[in-house]
Amino acid sequence: MLMGKYEMGRRLGEGHFGKVKLARHAETGRAFAIKILDRQRILAMKIDEQIKREIATLKLLKHPNVVRLYEALKGKLTEKEGRKLFQQLMDAIGYCHEKGVYHRDLKPENVLVDAKGNIKVSDFGLSALPQNQRKDGLLHTTCGSPNYVAPEVLLNKGYDGSMSDIWSCGVILYVMLTGNLPFDDQNMVVLYQKILKGNAHIPKWLSQGAQDILRKILDPNPITRIDLDGIRAHNWFKQGYAPAVPFNDDEDISMSEGSLNMTEHNGIQGNIAINQINAFQLIGMSSCLDLSGFFEKEDASERKIRFASNHSPAYLFEKIESIVRKMGLQVHKSNGKLKVIQDCKGPANSRGLESLLVSAEVFEINESLYVVELKKSSGDCSLYRKLCETLSEDLGICKSQQLLKQDSIKQEIVRYNSSF
């Protein structure tokens, strides 16, 4: 059995959340121990944050007497699923390039997916326009995310923004199809050396077409690297390809699009900022395809609770403020959140109660579905539970409606449920 770059061997042990197997690196032959975690069990026990913290901690530790974490493997999409997203990504980037816009920070976190599985490229904070080019017609600012940056960007000799974007899209495609990064290392110097060499390991279990297009995109030489026209003409890319049609300048995007974008409808409503949800984060927040965890108590300590609502964000914030004030609590608005406070300090606090501090935040899933997230920083647990029950009863979706909403979301994201 092959898992990424590792050939799996005998079982070494088994724990509460998974098992450990002996593995051999396919290229070097070096032996490793691979810990395989039961994702369903982890999500059911609400310890996913603990696992993430363990991974982040182990990445920092490099000592002969401490276990070393070399790599964390993630899930992948089927070629059909990955191709569809990649086709849309190429349409988006091609359109940007035609307008003279070069993104320069393309990575999965900046590729959002709406409720219908259509991608939306976001975060143009590092983008460049034609006026940013020097007299040689090239860009010279070194920017981007380390694992996704093109080799020519690292050389500081100037680069073509369109070809560097193509490289980054190739890395994204590799991640979608394999669940791994083509170039990765904890040492930044070593990572950049790998990128400059461009010797990415292309798994043999991918189709010949997928292997070929990945090799042509991840060509470290921008002159010989396949360009957008070449990608669109590639046989693997052309399968089921239906090019997207850009909007007219005078077209009403919100009406003509016919589908909901998780970012286009986010913004300022009243004085409250509505938060954006990255579609990969949405999938990660769910318990695989069971979204019950997305709409109810989030952890055993009851510090975080979510519930779904059909009410608009402006109405939700107004009602939350009204309800908590009736409960004798204080409300403060700050950075798109409501902070609920019960100040129990001073001589009046004869019961020795701990001051309650709760934040309320609203996330938009689509134009008729929102999620309210309540997080307790400190304070009386019984009062916090009462607050959560009151708000969810008054503002949340009833159980039957909630199940219908979950089913509709499941149908839309089932093809894209992975561990991004």
Active-site residue numbers?
A: 105
Specify the residue for token string 């089932």. Answer: 414
Return the C-alpha torsion angle 179, 183, 185, 191, nearest 10: -160
Asked if residues 191 and 183 have their Cβ atoms less than 8 Å apart, the reply is yes
DSSP, collapsed to helix, strand or coil, labels residue 51 as helix
**Selection from 201, 194, 195 nearest residue 178 by Cα:** 201
State how far the Cα of 403 lies from the Cα of 407, in Å rounded to an integer: 6
Rounded distance between C-alpha atoms, residue 328 and residue 344, angstroms: 12
Determine whether 188 is exposed, middle or buried from the number of CB atoms within 10 Å of its CB (0-12, 13-18, 19+): exposed
DSSP string, 241-259: -----PPPTTS-HHHHS-S
The one-letter amino acid at 317: F
What b/e readout covers 212-247, taking b as 16+ CB neighbours within 10 angstroms?
A: bbbebbbbbebeebbbbeebbebebbeeeeeeeeee
SS3 content of the chain, % helix, strand, coil (to 5): 40, 20, 40
- What whole-number distance in Å separates Cα of residue 110 and Cα of residue 296? 28
Q: Which of 361, 357, 362 is nearest to 340 (CA)?
A: 357
Work out the number of other CB atoms within 10 angstroms of the CB of residue 362: 24
